[in-house]
């Protein structure tokens, strides 16, 4: 590959990383909030979120991306293609993350909450120092698995014209008639992103365990 091809790969990789990071941060945070609302059984809102989760989990990322792309102008939203991609990926992943968080919170031993109340801890302090660290450790494997799936599913946003890594790879292969180098380079980038996630999982597990201790 020539210098221009490497430049295209670099720009595509940056786009994929940007899409993934923004969607992961938003998806995990919003998923946590949704999971807590569902556990609290807020009237109407909990039922609405349960329906949302069911629908989104059954909707392919490609279809969701097209839906957001078409709906945004109709709602008067003037957003970039990158923002549309982030919104679509976030809507998808936060539905899965919400169920991961909800399951982790539901499995938390209630005896510890009673012990914390007996020790005079406030609800917020109990949540921050006892509940959240342990729940995070429990939820991390599922969250990281979902993050990995999001990264692998991110090429779906290319359908609306976002030039991410996979689309760049296909373009280079079509122009140079040498698909193998660009495919290998793209595979290395995706593997590196997944590797970083796995390493981050181990770090946060250790950090959460220290907080819980």
- Token pair belonging to 62: 């490609």
Would you give the DSSP letter of residue 59?
A: S
pLDDT given for residue 211 in this prediction? 60
Q: Which long-range contacts (CB under 8 A, 24 or more apart) does 59-65 make?
A: 59/92, 60/156, 61/88, 61/89, 61/92, 61/153, 61/156, 61/157, 62/156, 62/159, 64/88, 64/91, 64/92, 65/89, 65/156, 65/157, 65/159, 65/160
Give me the chain's average pLDDT, please. Answer: 88
Residues 64, 156: Cα–Cα separation, whole Å? 9
pLDDT digits (tens, 9 = 90+) for 128-171: 888 888 888 889 889 999 999 999 999 999 999 898 999 999 88
Q: How far is CA 98 from CA 59, 167, 183, 184, in A?
A: 16, 30, 34, 34
Which pLDDT does position 202 carry in this prediction?
83
| pTM to 2 decimal places | 0.88
**Which residue shows structure tokens 């193998």?**
180
Q: In this predicted structure, what is the pLDDT of residue 63?
A: 93
For the chain, percent of residues with pLDDT exceeding 90: 47
Total domains in the fold of the chain: 1
CATH number at residue 138: 1.10.3720.10
* pLDDT given at position 208: 65
For 189-205, the pLDDT digits (tens) are 899 999 998 888 888 77
Residues 6+ apart with CB under 8 A from 20: 89, 147, 150, 151, 154, 193
Which CA distances in Å does 154 have to 42, 147, 166, 193? 33, 10, 9, 12
Alpha-carbon gap, residue 129 to 211, rounded angstroms: 7
Return the pLDDT at 51.
93
Which range of residues forms the domain containing residue 145? 3-212
Q: What's the pLDDT at 176?
A: 82
**Whether pLDDT at 45 is above 80:** yes
- Lowest mean pLDDT, pick from 27-41, 58-72, 100-114: 100-114
Say which residues have a Cβ less than 8 Å from residue 103's Cβ, sequence separation at least 6. Answer: 139, 142
């Amino acid at each position: 590959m020539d210098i221009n091809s490497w430049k295209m790969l670099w720009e595509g990789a940056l786009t994929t990383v940007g899409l993934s990071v923004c969607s992961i941060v938003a998806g995990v945070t919003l998923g946590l909030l949704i999971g807590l609302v569902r556990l609290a059984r807020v009237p109407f809102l909990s039922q609405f979120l349960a329906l949302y989760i069911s629908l989104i989990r059954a909707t392919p990322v490609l279809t969701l991306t097209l839906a957001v792309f078409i709906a945004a102008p109709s709602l008067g939203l003037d957003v970039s293609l990158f923002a549309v991609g982030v919104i679509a990926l976030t809507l998808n992943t936060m539905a899965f993350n919400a169920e991961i968080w909800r399951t982790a919170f539901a499995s938390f031993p209630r005896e510890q909450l009673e012990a914390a109340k007996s020790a005079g801890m406030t609800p917020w302090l109990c949540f921050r120092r006892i509940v959240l660290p342990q729940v995070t450790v429990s939820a991390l494997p599922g969250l990281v698995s979902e993050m990995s799936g999001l990264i692998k599913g991110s090429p779906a946003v290319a359908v609306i014209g976002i030039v991410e890594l996979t689309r760049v790879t296909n373009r280079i292969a079509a122009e140079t008639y040498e698909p193998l180098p660009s495919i290998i380079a793209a595979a290395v980038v995706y593997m590196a992103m997944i590797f970083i996630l796995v390493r981050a999982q181990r770090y946060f597990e250790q950090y959460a365990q220290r907080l819980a201790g």
